[in-house]
A and B are shown apart, each in its own frame.
Chain A
Amino acid sequence: MHDARVVAARILVLVPAGAWVLLAPAALSPYLLIIWCYALIFSIACLGLNLVFGTTGLLSLGHAAYFGAGAYAGAFLYRFADIHSFEVYFLVGILTSTLLAAGIGFLCVRATKIHFAILTLAFGQIFHSLFIDGAIFRLFGPLGWALYLVGEGSMYIPRLTILGIEFEPEEFIPAFYYVIVFAFCASVFLLWRINHSPFGKALRAIRDNQTRAVYIGIPVRQYRWYAFTISGVFLGLAGALYGQLDRQITPEQLDWLFSAELVLATVLGGTRDFIGPVLGAFVFIGLDEIAGRWAIGHNIMMGLLLMLVVFVFPRGLAGTLDLVPGIRKVGLLMKRKWL
C-alpha cells in the first residue's frame, strides 16, 4: 500500500515540476530559455562528475576533456562526413567521450587522492593543448588545418535535424529544449539507479575506507575505472548537448578551469546528496549569469562564493537545505522506495 503522505509529497513536488518543465518554452523569454537549457546540461555534467567525485571519493580536475570530446567528435563528423542528423552527432559524441574516459581512466585510477587529481589534470591538459596547438586538426588534412585557422580551435556546429526534422532558427531552441529535458530526466534516472545499486554502494565503501573495501572483496581499482568510464558517458552526453545548444565548441571547454568550474558547482550543491550537483549547477549558472553583467569582478564574486560555501555550508546547499525540517521531510518522502 502506498503511504498517503508519500503520494501527497510526490504529487506536491512532481506535478508542479513537470508542468513547469513542459511549459518553460512558453513561459520563459528566448534568452532565459537558453540559460535554463545551460543549467540543465550543466546539471548532467555535474551529476556525472559526482559519480567519481562524491560517490567514489576521487577528485578529478580533468573532466572537461570528456565534456569537450562529446561536442568536438560530432563537430568533426559534421564537417568531414557531412551528416546533419542530431542523433548521429549525439551518439558519436557519447561514444568518443566514453572511449576517451575509459582509456584515460584506466591510467588514472592507479593513483588516489591528490595524485589522482593531478594525473587527471595532466591528461586533461594534454588533450587541451592538442586542440590549442592544432595537432588534432592537422590529422584532418588541409581542410582540418583551415578549420583550425578559422576558429583557433573553436568549431562551429550548425542546427542539425532532430528526428529528421529541420527547424527554423526561432523554432529550434524550443524544440531542442525537449531533447535536453529528456536527456536530463534519463540521466537522473540512470545515475539514481547506479547510485543505489550494489555497485553504487561498493563505490561508497571504497570512498569511505579503501582497505576495508578490499577486505570485503571489492575489486577497488576495477570499480573505480568503471565509475570513471560511466561518468565519461554522462560528460560526453552533456558536452554533445552543449555543442548543439551553443552551436559551437571551443578549447575553453577543454581547459582545466572548466573542469574546476564543474567541481565548484558540484561542491556548491553538495557532493554527498544525490541531488546536490543539480542544485549546485543551477545556482552556479544563475550566479554566473548575474556576475557576467559586470565585466570585471566576476572572479571575485565566484571566489568569495566558493569560500562562503566551504566555510558556511560545509555540506553544500543540499546538505544545508536538508536541515530545514519541512524540506527534509519532503526529501525523505521523495526518496522512499518507489512502488
Chain B
Amino acid sequence: MDILVLQILNSLFYASVLFLLAAGLSLIFGVMGIINMAHGSLYALGAYVTAWVITFAATAVHPAVLFLLLPAGALVVTAAGVVIEPVLLRPLYKRPEEYQLLITFGLLLVLEDVMRFVWGGTPLSASPLMDALGIVHVGEFVYPTYNLLVIAIGVFAALGVWAFVYRTRFGVMLRATSQDRRMASALGMNVGRVYVQAFGLGCFMAGLGGAIVVPSQAAVLGMGVEVLVLAFVVVVIGGLGSLEGALVGALIVSFVRTGVIQFYEELELAVLYLIAAAVLLVRPTGLFGRPQ
C-alpha cells in the first residue's frame, strides 16, 4: 500500500516534468506548426544553468534564497528562445516543414556541444535545494519533500497554462494565430510578436522542466536527447498541438513506465513506443489532436 503511494508519487513527479516539456513542444507546434527537435536540449540547458547557478551560490547564500534561483534555468532558456525564433525559424515558415525540422535538428546538435564545452562531462547537481526541504513519511517509508514541490509545480503549471491559454487576452490571440495565421494578421495582430512570445513560452516551460528536475537528479550530457524522444511519445499519444493531450499523454507515459518497471522491466521503452504507434494508427492525430 505504501509502495503504491510511493509509485504513484514517483509517476506524478515524472509526469510533471514530462508535461512541462511536452506542453511546450505542443504549444510551439500548435502555434507555429514546427516540431522543435531542439526542445530536449533546451530542457537540458535549463537543468545545467540552474545547477550551475545553485552550485555557485550554495556556499554564499541562505537555502531559502536558493529557491529564488531555481527559475534561473527557465529564464535563460526563454531568453535563448526569444533569440532563436526570429533569427533561425522566422525565415523558414514559408518553406516545406522538413526544413524547419532540419534547422531545429541542427540547433540540437549545436546545443549538445555547447553544453559539452561549457560544463564538461561531470554531472552537475543542485542538491542543496533537495536537502533544504527534508523528507516526509509515507507509512514505513520516506519521500523527499522536494519531489512533492515538483508535483505541485506540475499541477500549478498545468492549471496556469490552461488559464493562460483559455482565460487571457494573450491566450485568445495565441489560439487565433494558431488557427488562422493570415486572418490574425489581417485583423491587426502582430503575428511575428505572437510567434516570439509563443516560442518563448514553450522554451520557458522546457527550461522550467529542466530546472525543477535538477535538484533531485543531476544534469548530465545526453539527457536532452533521451527526454526528447519521450516527449515525442507524449505528444503523439495526446495529440500534437493540444495542451490537454500533453497532460494526458504525460500521465499515461509516466504511469505506464512506472508500472512496467515494477512488473516487467525489459520492455520499458518498447511498451511506450508501442502505445504511441497504436494510438497513431487508430487516431492519427492523437487522443486530443485536431483533425488534419
* A304 CA to B88 CA, complexed, in Å: 12
Q: List residues of B (79-136) whose CB comes within 8 Å of A's CBs.
A: 88, 91-92, 95, 97-99, 101-103, 105-110, 112-114, 116-117
Given A119-B280, A134-B266, A300-B113, 6 more pairs with CB closer than 8 A: A111-B284, A125-B273, A133-B267, A263-B102, A302-B109, A307-B110
Q: Measured between C-beta atoms, what is the minimum distance from B233 to chain A in Å?
A: 7
* A123 CA to B274 CA, complexed, in Å: 8
**CB < 8 Å neighbour of A300 from B114, B232, B240, B273:** B114
Q: List residues of B (226-244) whose CB comes within 8 Å of A's CBs.
A: 229, 232-233, 236, 240
User: Does the CB pair B281–A135 fall under 8 Å?
Assistant: no
Is A299 at the interface (CB under 8 A from chain B)?
yes
User: Does the CB pair B99–A123 fall under 8 Å?
Assistant: no
The total of chain B residues at the interface (CB under 8 A) is: 43
* A302 CA to B29 CA, complexed, in Å: 25
Q: Measured between C-beta atoms, what is the minimum distance from A267 to chain B in Å?
A: 6
For B277, what are the chain A residues with a Cβ–Cβ distance below 8 Å? Answer: 107, 119, 122-123, 126
For A256, what are the chain B residues with a Cβ–Cβ distance below 8 Å? Answer: 229
User: Does the CB pair B270–A129 fall under 8 Å?
Assistant: yes
User: Does the CB pair A303–B110 fall under 8 Å?
Assistant: yes
User: Does the CB pair A115–B91 fall under 8 Å?
Assistant: no
Is A59 at the interface (CB under 8 A from chain B)?
yes
Residue ID in chain A nearest B277 by CB atoms: A122
Chain B contact residues, CB within 8 Å of chain A: 29, 35, 88, 91-92, 95, 97-99, 101-103, 105-110, 112-114, 116-117, 225, 229, 232-233, 236, 240, 266-270, 273-274, 276-277, 280-281, 284-285, 292
User: Does the CB pair B236–A122 fall under 8 Å?
Assistant: yes
Interface core residue of A118, A267, A305, A307 (most chain B CB under 10 Å): A118
For B267, what are the chain A residues with a Cβ–Cβ distance below 8 Å? Answer: 133, 135
Is A132 at the interface (CB under 8 A from chain B)?
yes
Task: Say whether, besides A111-B284, A122-B280, A299 and B109 are in contact (CB < 8 Å).
Answer: yes
* A311 CA to B106 CA, complexed, in Å: 12
* A59 CA to B105 CA, complexed, in Å: 14
User: Does the CB pair B113–A129 fall under 8 Å?
Assistant: no
The 8 closest A-B pairs by CB, nearest first: A303-B109, A306-B106, A303-B110, A129-B269, A300-B113, A299-B109, A303-B106, A299-B113
Residue ID in chain A nearest B95 by CB atoms: A314
* A267 CA to B98 CA, complexed, in Å: 9
For A300, what are the chain B residues with a Cβ–Cβ distance below 8 Å? Answer: 109-110, 113-114
* A119 CA to B232 CA, complexed, in Å: 10
Task: Say whether, besides A114-B240, A115-B292, A126 and B270 are in contact (CB < 8 Å).
Answer: yes
For B270, what are the chain A residues with a Cβ–Cβ distance below 8 Å? Answer: 126, 129-130, 133, 135
Residue ID in chain B nearest A298 by CB atoms: B113
* A307 CA to B91 CA, complexed, in Å: 12
User: Does the CB pair B292–A307 fall under 8 Å?
Assistant: no
Chain A contact residues, CB within 8 Å of chain B: 53, 59, 107, 110-115, 117-119, 121-123, 125-126, 129-130, 132-135, 256-257, 260, 263-264, 267, 296-300, 302-307, 310-311, 314
For A129, what are the chain B residues with a Cβ–Cβ distance below 8 Å? Answer: 269-270, 273
Task: Say whether, besides A114-B35, A114-B97, A306 and B236 are in contact (CB < 8 Å).
Answer: no
Q: Measured between C-beta atoms, what is the minimum distance from A130 to chain B in Å?
A: 6
**CB < 8 Å neighbour of B101 from A59, A133, A257:** A59
User: Does the CB pair A296–B117 fall under 8 Å?
Assistant: yes
* A30 CA to B275 CA, complexed, in Å: 47
For B106, what are the chain A residues with a Cβ–Cβ distance below 8 Å? Answer: 302-307, 310
User: Does the CB pair B102–A115 fall under 8 Å?
Assistant: no
For B268, what are the chain A residues with a Cβ–Cβ distance below 8 Å? Answer: 133
User: Does the CB pair A310–B266 fall under 8 Å?
Assistant: no
* A314 CA to B97 CA, complexed, in Å: 13
For A260, what are the chain B residues with a Cβ–Cβ distance below 8 Å? Answer: 105
User: Does the CB pair A110–B110 fall under 8 Å?
Assistant: no
For A115, what are the chain B residues with a Cβ–Cβ distance below 8 Å? Answer: 240, 280, 284-285, 292
User: Does the CB pair A135–B266 fall under 8 Å?
Assistant: yes
User: Does the CB pair B114–A306 fall under 8 Å?
Assistant: no
User: Does the CB pair B110–A121 fall under 8 Å?
Assistant: no
* A127 CA to B110 CA, complexed, in Å: 28
For A122, what are the chain B residues with a Cβ–Cβ distance below 8 Å? Answer: 232-233, 236, 273, 276-277, 280
**CB < 8 Å neighbour of B273 from A113, A126, A134, A267:** A126
* A298 CA to B112 CA, complexed, in Å: 10
* A303 CA to B233 CA, complexed, in Å: 24
User: Does the CB pair A133–B273 fall under 8 Å?
Assistant: no
* A260 CA to B109 CA, complexed, in Å: 11
User: Does the CB pair B113–A296 fall under 8 Å?
Assistant: yes
Contact sample, A vs B, 16 pairs, CB 8 Å cutoff = A59-B98, A59-B101, A115-B284, A117-B98, A118-B232, A118-B280, A119-B280, A119-B284, A125-B229, A134-B266, A296-B113, A297-B113, A299-B110, A307-B88, A307-B107, A314-B95
* A142 CA to B268 CA, complexed, in Å: 22
For A304, what are the chain B residues with a Cβ–Cβ distance below 8 Å? Answer: 106, 110
User: Does the CB pair A125–B110 fall under 8 Å?
Assistant: no
Residue ID in chain B nearest A119 by CB atoms: B280
User: Does the CB pair B102–A306 fall under 8 Å?
Assistant: yes
Residue ID in chain A nearest B110 by CB atoms: A303
User: Does the CB pair A133–B99 fall under 8 Å?
Assistant: no
* A130 CA to B270 CA, complexed, in Å: 7
